Amino acid sequence: MSRIRIVEILRRETSPGCLTVRGWVRTKRDAKAFSFLELNDGSCLGNLQVVADATLPGYEEAVVPARTGASIEVEGEVVASQGQGQRWELRASRVTLVGTAPEDYPLQKKGHTMEFMRSIAHLRPRSNLFGAVFRIRSRMAYAIHQFFQERGFVYVHTPIITASDCEGAGEMFRVVTMEGEKIRSGTEEFFGKPTYLTVSGQLEGETFACALSNIYTFGPTFRAENSHTSRHAAEFWMIEPEIAFCDLEGDMALAEGMVKYLVNDALLNCAEDLDFCNRHVDKGLIERLEFVRDRVFERVSYTDAVNLLLASGQNFEYPVEYGQPLQSEHERFLTEHHFRCPTTVYNYPKEIKPFYMRRNDDGKTVAAMDLLVPGIGEIVGGSQREERLEVLLANLREQGLEASAYDWYVDLRRYGTVPHAGFGLGFERLLMFITGVANIRDVIPFPRTPGSAEF
């Protein structure tokens, strides 16, 4: 008898016959002569209805105590269902109780808040919503590799422990060594210098792009920013492509193309889970995703965006001013009200951007770009990199950074320098956009945010 995932049964046109399934009981209903168990194994949203006859051998020991949350193994025959709502059901010939669950199993049928679900993060993937979100997360990770591999990009594993602050914002976690319970003094001796958890693999990624031409990274990144927003996590995953012989235009085109590719992939391969999100999380979700798939994105320079915001007559909490970063309310106004479309803002004032961005000929701006989407704001941040040695050294000086700390990075400009560009796509921000889930904590299996590192 073959073992099979429930998704394969539910999608069958003809009955697969006799087989064994394993999973967790979502609900059980007892009639006089039968029990109906809704069985889910996480392979898809749908449950397989198991019909267990009260005359089954072992019914008392296995079926009666198989409450919501219990794990069971069922052998039986897949037959056309007489009930409404499903094509197939499993007529059990044997039920084995693998693990019991108590009456107060925390995940009851309906009506749990997202906050409560976070407090049971070890059980929440068993719910419809979180099952759907994490299947989509897995598919999107796969599609990201597929997108780059199809285009000949090389996947580079950049280090998690690093000695340089890529973004220059100082929002880093320090790496220390322990002596029992205590931090060992002189701890930097382990590496010979202070080290941190990486905020970005970009600088290391650039070295590989300047050898292998097209590369990408995809891994965890860490930011010690004390931001209590629905879009910031202390640990998140980032995808960072870096392309040699590429300018800002090519960089923006890649970012836009990638977002469209991923949206299209989700629509094709996560239809059932997206439909669930559309019904239970965000009613306009699928319509918005189809729009994003089909529509050419907008682009606007930072200067034009500022003028447009100033002319909007909107009463923003943070005043709009040339030379200041765009706040999330400004970004959302642009994508949700003005353009009503994903929008790339480019050429930002040099003062508000890191040292590595390429200085534009106007002397005031750098070749930076942020891709903004409705509902979230920034999901991509990127730039063309400063490939001119003298300009890069001047940038480091201007920003008060020690050029010697970036020796190896500066060397790339000494040995066969090339124009190059790249960006970082926040994986969780992308998932929020694709699922409609409003809080970043709810697209991360075990979220880490200020004050919270449970599980």
**Residue 113 beta carbon to ligand 4AD: minimum distance, rounded to whole angstroms:** 22
Over the window 232 to 271, marking each residue x when it contacts ligand 4AD by CB under 6 A and - when it does not, the resulting string is xx--x-x-x-------------------------------
Select from Mg ion, ligand 4AD, none the partner in contact with residue 240, using the beta carbon and a kind-dependent cut-off of 5 to 8 Å.
ligand 4AD
How far is 257 from 276, CA to CA, in rounded Å? 26
Residues 107-166 that bind ligand 4AD (CB under 6 A): 166
* Residue among 422, 437, 370, 382 at smallest CA distance from 137: 437
**Among the candidate windows 59-67, 94-102, 353-361, 374-382, which touches Mg ion by CB under 5 A?**
374-382
Reading the block at residue 352, the tokens are: 């508000």
**Among the candidate windows 105-113, 270-278, 373-381, 399-407, which touches ligand 4AD by CB under 6 A?**
373-381
**Residue 357 beta carbon to ligand 4AD: minimum distance, rounded to whole angstroms:** 9
Q: Which helix (H) or strand (E) holds 408?
A: helix 407-411
How far is 50 from 25, CA to CA, in rounded Å? 10
Which spans in 151-301 are helix H?
202-212, 248-269, 271-280, 285-294
Q: Quick check: 78 binds ligand 4AD (CB under 6 A)?
A: no
**Residue 177 beta carbon to ligand 4AD: minimum distance, rounded to whole angstroms:** 26
Are the CB atoms for 370 and 298 separated by under 8 Å?
Answer: no
**Residue 376 beta carbon to Mg ion: minimum distance, rounded to whole angstroms:** 13
Select from ligand 4AD, Mg ion, none the partner in contact with residue 167, using the beta carbon and a kind-dependent cut-off of 5 to 8 Å.
ligand 4AD
The dihedral over CA atoms of 274, 329, 233, 402, expressed in degrees to the nearest 10, equals 130
* Residue among 217, 235, 216, 212 at smallest CA distance from 225: 235
Instruction: Identify the burial level of 424 via C-beta atoms within 10 angstroms of its C-beta, where 0-12 means exposed, 13-18 middle and 19 or more buried.
Output: buried
**Among the candidate windows 24-32, 87-95, 399-407, 416-424, which touches ligand 4AD by CB under 6 A?**
416-424
> Of the two residues 23 and 424, which places its CB atom closer to ligand 4AD in the complex?
424
Reading the block at residue 255, the tokens are: 């970012």
Extended beta strands in 4-53, E state: 18-30, 34-40, 48-53
Q: What is the CA radius of gyration of the chain?
A: 26
Are the CB atoms for 87 and 53 separated by under 8 Å?
Answer: no
- Residue in 24, 147, 423, 433 binding ligand 4AD, rule: CB under 6 A: 423
How far is 410 from 395, CA to CA, in rounded Å? 11
> Of the two residues 381 and 436, which places its CB atom closer to Mg ion in the complex?
381
Q: Quick check: 447 binds ligand 4AD (CB under 6 A)?
A: no
Are the CB atoms for 14 and 54 separated by under 8 Å?
Answer: no
Please list, in sequence order, all residues whose beta carbon lies within 8 angstroms of the beta carbon of residue 411, skipping any fewer than 6 positions away.
none
Q: What residues are paired with 236 via a beta bridge?
A: 221
Number of residues that bind ligand 4AD (CB under 6 A): 24
**Residue 378 beta carbon to Mg ion: minimum distance, rounded to whole angstroms:** 6
Q: Quick check: 358 binds ligand 4AD (CB under 6 A)?
A: no
Q: Quick check: 381 binds Mg ion (CB under 5 A)?
A: yes
Select from ligand 4AD, Mg ion, none the partner in contact with residue 166, using the beta carbon and a kind-dependent cut-off of 5 to 8 Å.
ligand 4AD
> Of the two residues 38 and 386, which places its CB atom closer to ligand 4AD in the complex?
386
Chain residues binding ligand 4AD by CB under 6 A are 166-167, 200, 202, 223, 225, 232-233, 236, 238, 240, 378-383, 422-424, 426, 428-429, 440
Chain residues binding Mg ion by CB under 5 A are 381
